[in-house]
Each structure stands twice: as structure tokens, then as C-alpha cells.
């Protein structure tokens, strides 16, 4: 099994962050659409699910101090340092 290099891990994390943001934002949009066209009794549940998923998407996009973003920044910093030392 090949161990990935730091630059490839940093690139992967960038794509994972974007992917998770897109997935959570699309789940929120889907829940909003279901709340608007579904039975009235189920609308509050869809609204709650939409709010949570959009909140998580916003956290992925905006939060600078989340553990995920801190780990990604550290890997990117190590990658930049390794590029300058070679």
C-alpha cells in the first residue's frame, strides 16, 4: 500500500471540504423543497432538518477554527514548508 504524500493529502482535503459543503447545502435545499410541497404536518421536521444541514454547511464554509479546518491548515502549512526545503 502506497502512503500518500503531504501535497496529495492537502489537495484531497480541499476537495473533501468542498464536497462536504456541497452535500450539506444540497440536503438543506432538498429539505426545504420537501417542506414546501409535502403535507403540512411534516413541514416542521423538514424545516428543522434543513436548518441543521445548512448550518453544518455554513460551518464547513465559514468556520476558521473548527478542528477539520485546523487540521487541513496544518497539513497545507507542512506541505508549503516541504516544498520550500526541496
Note whether residue 40 is domain-resident: yes
What is the pLDDT averaged over residues 57-76? 78
- The answer to whether residue 38 sits within a structural domain is yes
Q: Where are the alpha helices (DSSP H) in 1-86?
A: 6-37, 43-62, 67-85
Range of the domain at 48: 6-85
pTM of the model: 0.67
Total domains, the chain: 1
**Spatial separation of the C-alpha atoms in residues 68 and 59, rounded to whole Å:** 10
pLDDT digits (tens, 9 = 90+) for 11-59: 787 778 788 889 999 999 999 998 898 888 888 999 999 999 999 888 8
Between 45 and 82, the more confident residue is 45
Tell me how far the alpha carbon of residue 21 is from its chain's centroid.
4
Amino acid at each position: 500500500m502506497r502512503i500518500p504524500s503531504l501535497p496529495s493529502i492537502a489537495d484531497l482535503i480541499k476537495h473533501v471540504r468542498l464536497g462536504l459543503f456541497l452535500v450539506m447545502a444540497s440536503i438543506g435545499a432538498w429539505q426545504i423543497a420537501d417542506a414546501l410541497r409535502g403535507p403540512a404536518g411534516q413541514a416542521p421536521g423538514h424545516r428543522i432538518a434543513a436548518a441543521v444541514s445548512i448550518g453544518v454547511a455554513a460551518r464547513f464554509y465559514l468556520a476558521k477554527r473548527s478542528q477539520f479546518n485546523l487540521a487541513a491548515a496544518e497539513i497545507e502549512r507542512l506541505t508549503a514548508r516541504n516544498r520550500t526545503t526541496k
